[in-house]
């Protein structure tokens, strides 16, 4: 069967599988919406930390206070991030942690003005709650020689 299924005014439609569409997620529009929802949740103080010890250790490394500065840090990072900064998988991976099991995880890397380095952060959203999964200096994967 021909992949071209219809011709209309010099345009042609091509059959694509649902797997192809699914693998291209998240779209630019979807990422923009996730960042907007995340900014809203953080600005309203609806923030939960998934792995508090790891986030605390990374906060010490970045030299900020979770108690005093976390919300401001998150607002800044979310304002600096755009869909082009998405660093997660396509489609987004799902969490295996009990508290947020099966929620999609959205990871971004941004050049942070506050920290003067590239910062990686990952979060999940659930019913208006922002779950911070990770926030640390970007640690790019080193390629094998």
- Determine, yes or no, domain membership for 70: yes
- Determine, yes or no, domain membership for 56: yes
- Determine, yes or no, domain membership for 81: yes
Rounded Cα gap, residues 135 and 35, in angstroms: 15
- Determine, yes or no, domain membership for 4: no
Burial pattern 7-33, b for ≥16 Cβ within 10 A else e, equals: eeeeeeeeeeeeeeeeeeebeeeebee
How many domains is the chain built from?
Answer: 1
The pLDDT assigned to 1 comes to: 47
Rounded Cα gap, residues 42 and 45, in angstroms: 5
- Determine, yes or no, domain membership for 89: yes
List pLDDT tens digits, range 53-91: 999 999 999 999 999 999 999 999 999 999 999 999 999
- Determine, yes or no, domain membership for 14: no
Per-residue confidence of the chain (145 residues) as pLDDT tens digits?
Answer: 444 555 555 555 566 555 455 568 999 999 999 999 999 999 999 999 999 999 999 999 999 999 999 999 999 999 999 999 999 999 999 999 999 999 999 999 999 999 999 999 999 999 999 999 999 999 988 776 6
- Determine, yes or no, domain membership for 54: yes
The pLDDT assigned to 19 comes to: 47
- Determine, yes or no, domain membership for 115: yes
Range of the domain at 85: 25-137
The pLDDT assigned to 60 comes to: 98
CATH number at residue 45: 3.30.2310.40
Number of H helices, E strands in the chain: 4, 6
């Amino acid at each position: 069967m021909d992949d071209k299924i219809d011709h209309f005014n010099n345009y042609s439609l091509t059959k694509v599988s649902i797997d192809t569409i699914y693998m291209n997620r998240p779209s630019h529009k979807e990422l923009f919406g996730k960042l907007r929802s995340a900014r809203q949740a953080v600005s309203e103080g609806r923030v939960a930390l998934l792995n508090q010890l790891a986030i605390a250790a990374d906060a010490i490394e970045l030299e900020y206070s979770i108690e005093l500065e976390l919300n401001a840090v998150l607002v800044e990072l979310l304002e600096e991030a755009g869909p082009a900064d998405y660093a997660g998988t396509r489609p987004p991976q799902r969490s295996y942690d009990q508290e947020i099991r099966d929620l999609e995880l959205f990871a971004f890397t941004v050049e942070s003005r506050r920290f003067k380095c590239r910062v990686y952060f990952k979060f999940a959203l659930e019913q208006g709650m922002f779950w911070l999964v990770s926030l640390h200096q970007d640690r790019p994967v080193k390629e094998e020689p």
